[in-house]
Amino acid sequence: MATANTLKQDLKSKAPMMGTFVKTPSPIIVEVLADTGLDFLILDAEHAPFGREALDLCVMTARLKGCRVVVRIPDDAPGTILNALDLGADGIMVPHVKSAAQAEALVKAAHYGAGGRGYAGSTRAAGYGTVPMARHKANSAANTVVIAQIEDPEGVDAIEDIAAVEGLDCLFIGRVDLAVAYGATSMQDAVVEEATMKVCQAGRDKKMTVGMFLPDMTEVPHFLAQDVSFFGMASEHKMIQDGFRALLDSAEWAEAEQQASPGA
């Protein structure tokens, strides 16, 4: 598991980290997950129904619990990036990054400076006006995390240039979208595996951290050997489903059902 460093520091060190995607826009779910020992949470504002108020409450809860939190934003618009970071998220995960120019624009929009992130000292990120501008800007520059999802053939083709973008913290492989884009039938198809290995190699070449979604633990040893260190494991939805399915499939429940059945 990761150390007590900031998320940005742990990404840079390539310390193995495990988190999960949060699909339920509820601060209670975030509160429960924060007590599990996971290294981070990813609030999935791309595919789950996170409105601005729900996102605000979930980020607030994660911060109060001392849990690092990333927002997977639905698009790469500067206003979308600004909102997630002003709420106090440790960073953003941006879907469908296809070029170095796009990655450079994302980094710029996530940081203060000419043409970059708009400044407001009244936000949670700035301590609601209690953190001086110079200190908040320094904290933001030192700690804001920008993660680029690589989930399109164009992104794979441009991966060496994307991995070289200064200020980018992690390449996050989206094998499901890659499978769809390549017309493959599963994440294990050869074309997806080839694309995945190309991203991993670019991470090694450019000393860039690589992460990925995995549905369970079975492939973790394989990808650790490929220097993948940032794992978004499943989601709370999948863990709930798997947990109750395991109970229903257990020998103890089968025995209880048999004993309760007529004629037993």
The residues pairing with 44 across neighbouring beta strands, listed in sequence order, are 72
Give percent helix, percent strand, percent coil of the chain, each to the nearest 5: 45, 15, 35
Helices 27-34, 52-64: inter-axial angle, 10-degree rounding: 20
CA gap 239, 160 in Å, rounded: 35
The one catalytic residue among 47, 96, 111, 136: 47
Full DSSP string of 8-31: HHHHHHT--EEEEEE-S--HHHHH
CA gap 40, 109 in Å, rounded: 23
- Whether 183 contacts 154, CB under 8 Å: no
What is the chain's alpha carbon radius of gyration, rounded to the nearest angstrom? 20
Residues sharing a CB contact under 8 Å with residue 21, sequence separation 6 or more, in sequence order: 42, 44, 72, 213, 232, 234, 235, 236
Residue 183: φ, ψ to 5°: 75, 25
CA gap 160, 99 in Å, rounded: 10
CA gap 261, 264 in Å, rounded: 6
**Is 47 assigned a catalytic role?**
yes
Q: Could you tell me which of 83, 142, 70 has the C-alpha nearest to residue 109? A: 83
CA gap 50, 34 in Å, rounded: 18
Q: Known catalytic residues?
A: 47
